[in-house]
A and B are shown apart, each in its own frame.
Chain A
Amino acid sequence: MMHRISPATFRFAALAVAGAAALFLGGCNGDAGARRIDEREAITTVGQIDIQDFNYAARELTNKMLVSQQFQEELRRIKEARPRGPAPLIKISRIKNDTTLKVNMRGFLVDPMEEVLSESGKVRFFAEDRQAQDIAAAHETLGGASPQLPDMVLYGTVRDLRTEAGDVRQAAYVFHLRLAGADGNTIWQGQTQIIKRGSRPAIGL
């Protein structure tokens, strides 16, 4: 037996769906309830590298570098060669983004590492700013000291590997850094990875 839907019922249903859609699409995307949070409350996604992931990778790689015997030996070797000279100089080269994400890997991964390593007093970093280098060149022209060449170069790659099984999505992000000496050989390399898993939402994409 079939029920006929009356015009009143149809109007109610249409209004209810429209209202819910408006709430879903518009009402919740605003800034209602906006507040500052720390990383314990940060959103975790599968398809992206979240800020807490970058912090984790940067911290792990910084710690690995600082405890590396080869790295410490290279620092000692440079210090012995220049007993009264400044701390060894590192140039940050390319951090290759081998993921499908459009993210500034240098900014989120290496800049915090640079701050911590600089503050440690063990190394200094080459200023990438063009004006800073122009000023250094001008000082040299006026009879000042020659700009110091970097003692080491830091470079690396960030990769991702995405897999799916049914409704479950998984993404592995691999952060790999290398430090090369003035002779072009690798002094240190470190890697850390983050694996995240989640389900596809029941509604939407």
Chain B
Amino acid sequence: MRNLKTVFGLTSLAVALAGCYRTVNTVEVGKSVEGEYRWIITDSGLSQVASVVSARKTRADDLLRVEVEVENLRPIQQRFYYRFEWFDADGNIVDTPLSTWQPQIVAGRERVVLRGIAPNPRVTDCRLKLQESSR
């Protein structure tokens, strides 16, 4: 009798919790990459498992183009988010509806190239934010 009640109770709780489950990721951007790639910002968690191999900024057809190569230092697949922020000559941010966080997957020990193109010719500089994904 008591066992039966426990089984019913636990099953009911499991069903209720399954309906309420939501995944939340609230990792904050913090630590900056020192030196040459100071304009690339990552969080401390991601900086331990991935590193920036190379980065270059060029200008073609009036538009700033950025390529950043990131290497996964671990042998397992890594997920992270990235976002390019664009700035005009006065340092004001140039926002567009497509300046959003993008998910990226990189296989173990592999490299991936993140490409960004400035949304308009007024853009003179950029910042790349990288953030570890917990899902």
Do the two chains bind?
yes
**Could you tell me the distance between the alpha carbons of A202 and B65 in the complex, rounded to whole angstroms?**
46
User: By the criterion CB–CB under 8 Å, are B100 and A55 in contact?
Assistant: yes
**Could you tell me the distance between the alpha carbons of A59 and B18 in the complex, rounded to whole angstroms?**
35
Question: What does the 1/0 interface line of A88-128 toward B look like (CB < 8 Å)?
Answer: 00000000000000000000000011011001110000000
User: By the criterion CB–CB under 8 Å, are B61 and A59 in contact?
Assistant: no
Contact residue among B15, B25, B115, B120 (Cβ-Cβ distance under 8 Å from A40): B25
Q: Which residue of B lies closest to A40 (CB)?
A: B101
List chain B residues, Cβ under 8 A from A115: 96-97
A17 at the interface (CB under 8 A from B): yes
List chain A residues, Cβ under 8 A from B98: 55, 58-59, 62, 112-113, 116
**Interface residues on chain A, size class:** 35 or more
User: By the criterion CB–CB under 8 Å, are B15 and A5 in contact?
Assistant: no
User: By the criterion CB–CB under 8 Å, are A120 and B8 in contact?
Assistant: no
A137 at the interface (CB under 8 A from B): no
Q: How many residues of B contact A (CB 8 A)?
A: 37
**Could you tell me the distance between the alpha carbons of A48 and B4 in the complex, rounded to whole angstroms?**
41
User: By the criterion CB–CB under 8 Å, are A120 and B121 in contact?
Assistant: yes
**Could you tell me the distance between the alpha carbons of A5 and B16 in the complex, rounded to whole angstroms?**
25
**Could you tell me the distance between the alpha carbons of A58 and B4 in the complex, rounded to whole angstroms?**
55
B131 at the interface (CB under 8 A from A): yes
List chain A residues, Cβ under 8 A from B63: 66-67, 120
Instruction: In the complex, identify which listed stretch (A8-16, A148-156, A158-166, A173-181) lies at the interface while the others stay far away.
Output: A8-16
Q: Is the interface of A mostly helix, strand, loop or mixed?
A: helix
Q: Which of B98-122 contact A (CB under 8 A)?
A: 98, 100-103, 115-117, 119-121
User: By the criterion CB–CB under 8 Å, are A21 and B61 in contact?
Assistant: no
**Could you tell me the distance between the alpha carbons of A59 and B119 in the complex, rounded to whole angstroms?**
10
**Could you tell me the distance between the alpha carbons of A40 and B81 in the complex, rounded to whole angstroms?**
8
Question: What does the 1/0 interface line of A26-60 toward B look like (CB < 8 Å)?
Answer: 01100000000011110000000000100110110
B89 at the interface (CB under 8 A from A): no
B12, B23, B26, B98 pick with most chain A CB within 10 angstroms: B98
- Assuming the A-B contacts A6-B1, A16-B9, A41-B24, are A24 and B18 also in contact, with contact meaning beta carbons closer than 8 angstroms in the complex? yes
- Assuming the A-B contacts A16-B12, A20-B13, A20-B16, are A38 and B101 also in contact, with contact meaning beta carbons closer than 8 angstroms in the complex? yes
Q: List 19 A-B contacts (CB under 8 A).
A: A17-B8, A19-B12, A20-B12, A20-B13, A20-B15, A20-B16, A38-B100, A39-B101, A40-B131, A55-B97, A56-B102, A58-B98, A59-B100, A63-B117, A67-B117, A113-B98, A116-B97, A119-B120, A120-B63
Q: Which residues of A contact B (CB under 8 A)?
A: 5-6, 9, 12-13, 16-17, 19-21, 23-25, 27-28, 38-41, 52, 55-56, 58-59, 62-63, 66-67, 72, 112-113, 115-116, 119-121, 202-203
Q: Which residues of B contact A (CB under 8 A)?
A: 1, 4-5, 8-9, 11-13, 15-16, 18-20, 23-26, 60-61, 63, 65, 81, 96-98, 100-103, 115-117, 119-121, 131, 133
- Which 4 residue pairs across A and B have the least CB separation, nearest first? A20-B12, A24-B19, A23-B16, A112-B97
- 8 further A-B contacts with Cβ under 8 Å, apart from A28-B19, A55-B100, A63-B117, are A5-B4, A12-B5, A16-B9, A20-B16, A39-B101, A52-B100, A66-B61, A119-B120
